[in-house]
Amino acid sequence: MPFSFLVPAFLAAMAALAIPIVMHLRQRDKQRPLRFPSLMFLRRIAIETSHRRRVTDWPLLLLRALAVVLAVLAFARPVIQKRGSAVASAGNRVVVLALDRSMSMSHAEVWPAAMDSARAVIRDLSAGDRVAVIAFDDDAVVMQPLTADHATALAALGTIEVGSRGTRFAAALRAARQQLAAANLHSAEVVVVSDLQRSGTGGLSDLALPPGIAVRGIVVAPTSLANSAISGMTVERLGGGAAGRIAVTAEVTSRALPEMRRATASLMVNNRPAGSRQVELPANGVRSVAFDPVALPPGEARVTVSLDPDLLVADDHFNAVVPAEATQKILVVAPADLSAASTLFAERALEIGTDPSFRLERRNAAALDAKTLASAALVLFLDAAPPTSDAFTAWIRSGHGAIVVAGPRMAASRTVMPLLPATMAGEVDRLADRGGTLGDIAMEHPIFTPFRGGGSGVLLGARFIRYARMTADTGSEVLARFDDGAPALIERRLDAGRILLSAIPLDTRGGDFPLQPAYLPFIRRLALHTAGYEPQPLWRTTGEGWRPALSVSELVIATPDGALVRPDTNGVRGAISLDAGGFYQAYQARAAGEPVASVAANPPPRESDLTASPASELLLGVREDASELTATELLPLAEVEQRQRLWRFLLLIVLVALVAESWLGSQGWRGRASATRSELSSTGMAT
């Protein structure tokens, strides 16, 4: 039964033991001078003094030292770690039953067989045998700890329902090992009832099991692996506003079909039929199903594509939430005498496109006060320097962004511009060599996402005749350079916000970039990145977490099965686990009216592949751990200490010791002077 400490560094306080020892060894006797009328009749005697070199009160010293030692041990938080193994009675078995409840188990042929097999395992146990019940998918939950009450185990088994999450056998085996460790057992049998999908074997190589744990798999795979599933969906907006439309395309994946299958795919928008398609599914492969465009209702739209059900119904539906069209306001600041042709291409490029759409408003730099900036997502400065006001600086630092396009005015300016990530050094004229091009580009940056995978060639095709020469400041990041090495695009972070300075001309005066196919995607990605805009995914995968809105108080979330959940907003800030497939809707205070946020959840696509592994391969890759199985190998030391709380008892003993020390010290146990008889000198005086 080894002893360990949660805070072993506190044991250094044992040096405090020197305090009571010093207290007992120091000289306590004090000489008190006595007045005497005359010394002429006294005999002179040499006086010898010595320091106290021995302890005269051992009980008090030991009591004080004990109080110090126990106080130090209490603050070091002791933990008793049990070792050894509790051996079951002769002939008794210990079984951990792990039942797979992942989405693939909802197959019409699988789940009934799985429940029958799990019940048979419990009913085959003898009296005195112990069993634990675990339900697992990509996580594991102990439904019933080890018990000899088989009826209780059967009742716990009956509460398990198949879900929509993925499969992970490592989670089940870890939970089984933890149950055995908590009971201090080193030998048992783990029975896994599952369809043993190959996709669920991930993570087994990181698992270690002691040699005393035997794992047995009961395979309940379907007789046929044929399955068709909707594996994905794309939604394209066709126009903006209330009159806009969406075009939905679904991907249907077929596996192991005996022959080509004819099926009907249906589209639902906000629980209303919106179209259908007849589709011929191949025996193996992917088929895209495109629906006719439908009108986009106001606000967000809940879209569901369904396929004629087969034996695995859970993957015959696919859900998505199309958010309401987002509109970002961009404030455009340009000199009053700047020609319309100089801003035409940039403004038109920003106005094209949806999701989000950009709404441009012209402003003067002096008018960028806190009220004006509050509703803006981005400020675009076209050959104009940004202001240095406190309101603008605070707006940037709070998470917003600004794009500064340096033109001939800024290039010729000698004014110091504190917020910019570079200093101006005039203008470069490349007319003699027929213009320059972009050279070094940081393709990993989000701005250049559309040009990855061989698409950088369209950026390198633009030619620039005139551009501002800049020198990047320390701490800024150069995202692109011209072929002469001069910075073309520089970014500076200011707390949560950012400022991007571009020497790339956005009009035809400085080059032919506005006429190149890369112009429009570059301008759009530049604006989205600078504004910090992140599009919301159309759907999420079951098993993920979802945090609807941090600013909503009294959050209420309606789950796909109609239940209402109130997340712990004080603990996890309103996060919820997406355990079921379907739509989750978040409300404030009560589930009524329009939701403040919605999300769609779909099972992992790998769950639709019903290919099973042989039961003999369940432990392939699992390492053998020859060490003794102890609860502390799986339970954190802090959790074990939390259960024991030995420090409380030590502090109680310290309190008793201090009370005893106070009483003992008041009794005067230190050495008392004993009376001695005086001798008379020859003069008759006492000595």
Same domain, 342 and 353: yes
Looking at residue 5, its amino acid is F
Same domain, 319 and 369: no
Q: Residue 653 gets which letter from DSSP?
A: H
- Residues 431-453 pLDDT 10s: 888 889 998 899 899 999 888 87
Work out the average pLDDT over 675-685. 44
Contact status, residue 70 vs residue 8, Cβ threshold 8 Å: no
Same domain, 356 and 453: yes
> Which has the higher per-residue pLDDT, 615 or 395?
395
Domain range enclosing 218: 94-224+611-629
Number of helices (H), then strands (E), in the chain? 14, 34
- What are the angstrom distances between the C-alpha of 365 and each of 220, 236, 404, 461? 71, 37, 12, 34
Beta strands in 293-446 (DSSP E): 294-295, 301-307, 317-322, 327-333, 357-363, 378-382, 401-405, 422-429, 438-441
Least confident of 151-155, 190-194, 620-624: 620-624
- Residues 545-589 pLDDT 10s: 888 865 567 788 999 988 998 886 544 556 888 999 999 998 888
CATH of the domain at 383: 3.40.50.880
> Which has the higher per-residue pLDDT, 77 or 379?
379
Could you give the CA distance from residue 633 to residue 341 in angstroms, rounded to a whole number?
71
Q: In this predicted structure, what is the pLDDT of residue 630? A: 42
Q: Which two tokens stand for residue 646?
A: 């030995």
Q: Which two tokens stand for residue 511?
A: 């080059």
**Domain termination residue (choose one: 323, 344, 359):** 323
Work out the average pLDDT over 362-380. 90
Burial letters 384-417, b for 16+ CB under 10 A, else e: bbbbeeeebbebbeeebbbbbbbbbbbbeeeeeb
Same domain, 363 and 499: yes
Q: In this predicted structure, what is the pLDDT of residue 668? A: 55
Q: Which residue has the tokens 């095709």?
A: 461
- What are the angstrom distances between the C-alpha of 480 and each of 347, 440, 471? 22, 6, 13
Pick the closest to residue 489 from 508, 503, 476 (CA basis): 503
> H helices of 413-497, where?
457-460
The maximal CA–CA distance of the chain, rounded, in angstroms, is 139
> H helices of 212-339, where?
none
Q: Hey, CA dihedral for 492, 498, 499, 502, is it positive or negative?
A: positive
Pick the closest to residue 499 from 391, 446, 409, 422 (CA basis): 422
Q: Which two tokens stand for residue 41?
A: 């009749």
Pick the closest to residue 335 from 414, 393, 410 (CA basis): 410
Q: In this predicted structure, what is the pLDDT of residue 487? A: 94
**Residue 238 pairs with which residues in a beta bridge?**
245
Could you give the CA distance from residue 175 to residue 172 in angstroms, rounded to a whole number?
5
Is the residue at 421 inside a domain? yes
Could you give the CA distance from residue 604 to residue 602 in angstroms, rounded to a whole number?
7
- Tell whether the model's pLDDT for residue 87 goes beyond 50: no
Could you give the CA distance from residue 321 to residue 248 in angstroms, rounded to a whole number?
12
Same domain, 205 and 265: no
Would you call 327 exposed, middle or buried from its count of C-beta atoms within 10 A (0-12, 13-18, 19+)?
Answer: middle
Same domain, 592 and 507: no
Q: Which two tokens stand for residue 593?
A: 């009216």
> Which has the higher per-residue pLDDT, 19 or 520?
520
- Residues 286-299 pLDDT 10s: 999 999 999 887 78
Looking at residue 367, its amino acid is A
Q: In this predicted structure, what is the pLDDT of residue 32? A: 64
Could you give the CA distance from residue 180 to residue 172 in angstroms, rounded to a whole number?
13
Is the residue at 678 inside a domain? no
Q: Residue 583 gets which letter from DSSP?
A: E
Whether residue 356 is preceded by a cis peptide bond, meaning omega within 30 degrees of 0, is yes
Could you give the CA distance from residue 557 to residue 536 in angstroms, rounded to a whole number?
18
Would you call 671 exposed, middle or buried from its count of C-beta atoms within 10 A (0-12, 13-18, 19+)?
Answer: exposed
Q: In this predicted structure, what is the pLDDT of residue 232? A: 93
- Tell whether the model's pLDDT for residue 5 goes beyond 90: no
HEC string of 54-107?
CCCCHHHHHHHHHHHHHHHHHHCCEEECCCCCCCCCCCCCEEEEEEECCHHHHC
Could you give the CA distance from residue 336 to residue 339 in angstroms, rounded to a whole number?
8
Could you give the CA distance from residue 605 to residue 456 in angstroms, rounded to a whole number?
32
Is the residue at 685 inside a domain? no
Indicate the SS3 state at residue 609.
coil
Q: Residue 178 gets which letter from DSSP?
A: H
- Residues 290-349 pLDDT 10s: 999 998 877 889 999 999 999 999 999 999 999 887 788 999 999 888 888 788 899 899
**Average of per-residue pLDDT values in the chain:** 83
Is the residue at 379 inside a domain? yes
Half-sphere exposure of 25 (CA within 13 A, CB side): 7
- What are the angstrom distances between the C-alpha of 561 and each of 307, 352, 531, 593? 20, 41, 37, 19
- What are the angstrom distances between the C-alpha of 652 and each of 32, 521, 646, 649? 42, 72, 10, 5
> Which has the higher per-residue pLDDT, 25 or 463?
463
- Tell whether the model's pLDDT for residue 272 goes beyond 80: yes
CATH of the domain at 289: 2.60.40.10
Half-sphere exposure of 493 (CA within 13 A, CB side): 6
Same domain, 185 and 105: yes
Same domain, 151 and 18: no
Could you give the CA distance from residue 583 to residue 599 in angstroms, rounded to a whole number?
6
Same domain, 189 and 63: no
> Which has the higher per-residue pLDDT, 380 or 243?
380
672 confidence band (pLDDT: 50, 70, 90) = very low
Same domain, 452 and 524: yes
Burial letters 1-37, b for 16+ CB under 10 A, else e: eeeebbeeebeeeeeeeeebeeebeeeeeeeeeeeee
Is the residue at 354 inside a domain? yes
HEC string of 410-431?
HHHCCCCCCCCCEEEEEEEECC
Same domain, 414 and 464: yes
Number of domains in the chain: 5
What pTM does this model have?
0.64
Contact status, residue 607 vs residue 197, Cβ threshold 8 Å: yes
Could you give the CA distance from residue 292 to residue 380 in angstroms, rounded to a whole number?
38
Is the residue at 579 inside a domain? yes
**Domain termination residue (choose one: 295, 323, 351):** 323
**Domain termination residue (choose one: 272, 295, 323):** 323
> H helices of 487-621, where?
519-531
Work out the average pLDDT over 615-635. 56
Same domain, 465 and 391: yes
Contact status, residue 146 vs residue 88, Cβ threshold 8 Å: no
- Tell whether the model's pLDDT for residue 85 goes beyond 50: no
Is the residue at 340 inside a domain? yes
Is the residue at 651 inside a domain? yes
